[in-house]
Chains A and B, each alone.
Chain A
Amino acid sequence: MIGSRLRKIFRDVWARKSRALMASAAIFVGVLGVVTLLSAGDLLTSQLKQDISEEDLAMQAVFVSAPGGAELDNETYLRALEETPGITRVEGRAVQPLAWKLPSEAEFEDGFVLAAWEPFEEIAIQPMRLAGEGRYPSTGQQEIAVEMRMAERYGLSVGDQIVLRSAAGDPEGDAWTITALVFMPYASFGSMGMPVPSDASLFATFEDARTLGGFTGFNTLYARYTDYPTAQAQADALYAAIAQETPYITVFSYTDDPAESFYITQTEEMTSMLSMLGIIAMIVAGLLVLNVINSIVGEDKRQIGVMKSLGATRWDNFVIYAGIAVTFGLLGAIPGVLLGSYLGVLMAQAIDETLLTYIEGFSLSGSAIMVGLVMGLAIPFLAALVPVFLGTRVTILQAMTDVGISADYGKSRWSRVLTAMPLPTNTKQAVTNVLRKKGRLALTWLTLTLAAGAFMGIYGMFVSINDTIGDVFDSFNAQMTVTPNERQDFEHVRALALGGVATIEAVDPSIGLSVELDGYVSPENGTSQLQLTGFDPTTDSMELEIRAGTAWQDDPAREGLVLTQGVANALDKGVGDTATLVAQGQAVDVEIIGIASFIVDQGFMEWQELARLVGSVDAQGEPVPTSMMVRLSDPDPTAVEVDEVIDELDEVLLANGIAATQVNQVKFAEDIAQMITMFGAVFQIAAIVMAIIGAIGLLSTLSMSVFERLREIGIMRSIGAGSVTIASQFLTEGLLVGLSAWLVAIPLAYLIAGGLLESMDVGMEGLGFDSSALWIGLVGMIVITVLASLGPSLSAARKTVSEILRYQ
């Protein structure tokens, strides 16, 4: 009994090779997508959970700016900050740019030196750890440690020497010895909160780092509290303590719940979203299997009846046809799991840096494999349930007397309308044929609609993100920002830059930091800290899009605050109202003089007013900017050209004992765009998977249509229909299905884009759906449907009368 059933299953699958291939291919693509995405996510999340300890994570990170040239009693400051209620520990970090090179190289590379106030072994918050042999560097011995990813990239090992160029030392640099390779699982941020790449990170004691980097103070303070709710409640108290107890100025800050660390949650959110798309692709593949099984059961109606007459029970028939579906699943799932596991590792390794982790070697995700196998088998089985259940219900009598067309064929209202329409006969036939098998039509159409909707939604969303972020960068006219490690005399630095680098056209002062805004709650971190940018309105360094108020249009020296629309809405205030800023422990009322369009919550002030507000002043009480915006004579330089200017300016500043972090804004914008493109590509892969499955579905449907209508084609041929006439009928069918699916996919695309933005919790204003996606979707749909229809159309057109008659 089992023998006959298995035989029938495998023989039927083999006899319908092309359909089996299509159904299996759809399952393969779906399983491949799911396993790849789940594997990557699982590997990344597992690695992060391995590397990151909840007890070690900072609950609050405050990026600070140190006064230039001052003697800093960092130990006293840290102990004073630990008096803040609820705090259990505060640690200070310095992350500064450092030029380095291999002894054999002529050019220096851009790197960063990371140092903690505490000795290496005593670092308790977000510590690094030794990777392999070696020991931490000692002070004064010209010893350095490198991050293992930097070592891997440049082929460095313990005992090697590299050349480091210190701020006040020999421009040719000095040789330092690598005493250890370290693994730093936590993100490091330099001045202005810029992330530092792992493959450019070096570690030194604080004293050595000060010598190398030419700085005296921290740029990051990490704090841990008794618990996270306390951290949230006391965050502002820490900012006040920093202002009152230290000479540091808070530039930027965030709080993070270690139990839901952004390291892990961002990875989990991204992978769960991608996995959801992968699962949708699997479901779409299941629809295709449903379609195929439905047609097979329909074709085999008579055979089902015969088997019943031979003693097969309904269960026997159910097992056979469900078994065919499961066989499709098996044929697709096994290669899908194998290839998906491999690609998952590659994907994890490709994006591990972006997600602040490191995937080494090759390992399999057991859970992803299990999910892939289960889904690869369960989805086709579930998809086949209904058609098999219904199809095997047929009695012997029904099976033996079925003639294929119902008695009321051609009598429906639609049929009568179609007959009356002035369309070519060929087109009428195509439309009639599309409507003939409504169930199969619905499945194919649903598949294509989902695929088109997902593709257009994802594409439209990411184009919008790219455009919106492009607008942000367009607000900044400066191609570079220079942030001295410690606050410097602005005019002095400006003179050095203008005099020392020919291609620099202008150097404008700026100050960027976060200040407490009374009544405001940041959607990102829940604190009342608002990022403020101070700039010189008399220059062209920034171009804000002012929606309300006049800001500095009439008076560049005007005092006041420009808020972005999002902040104004949150405060329920407008132009002319007063906002209360709290800085240095004091509340200051500031007039709102404008509302600007900007994608993230921000505030803008005239830089000198802001500098005085936060205490960024020199000994004479004159305002000091924390950074400078540099414009080049070429208004549209490439990233490489800006890098060259940075190198040149670096030489000039270092020669004058000034160490600074310089940001290539052009490259930064390109990197962001590239990162968005990369993420978008990952999402688009999921959408393309669905589009492929949709195409396979259409190909399968049209192929079955050709098969079922062979006699009709034979008759058409015998009465003189040419190949073009026959082929065009199937092409028309395909296009009708595709175009109608595209139309319905349009609102679906908007919904998907909105849903994805909502789930990503981006919090940017102005993001939405770029309608160019609709036209690209239309073109794509036409291409897919034409390609999918081509094969069956040509197959139908090639059939000769004698072939068909012989077949029949």
Chain B
Amino acid sequence: MSVVVLLIGLCAGIMVGLLGIGGGILIVPALVYLLHMDQHAAQGTSLFVLLPPIGLGALLEYRKKGDVDFRAGILCALGMLIGGYLGGRIAVPMSSDHLKQLFGAFLMFSALLLWSKASKKTVSTEPAVSTEGGS
């Protein structure tokens, strides 16, 4: 059981570095289906895991190539603190099955959006939609 948990952590960690995400999208389904945790408990545990700076090692790797915008990241972190509280307040009273379906639908929707973008040729220098291009 402990070994399974450690392995889930390692797999999620590879996603952290490879995809630049927290790994929660792997941790939550893995806890639900491999460890038979309730959806809410899996989500709460996943959020707890993300509190320490687990992505620090990965971040330093990205920085070596200059692929980091610190200002944007810090501003987002500020917004996330507030947003996280709101999201938690919405999720806690919801039923586990509704939460699961919503989570699944959200992931598939984001995936399709990204896929459609990746299938066209990616031009990294195209102008920003919101304001002026460049950073």
- Our verdict on whether A and B bind, yes or no, reads no
Chain A residues within 8 Å of B, Cβ to Cβ: none
Chain B residues within 8 Å of A, Cβ to Cβ: none
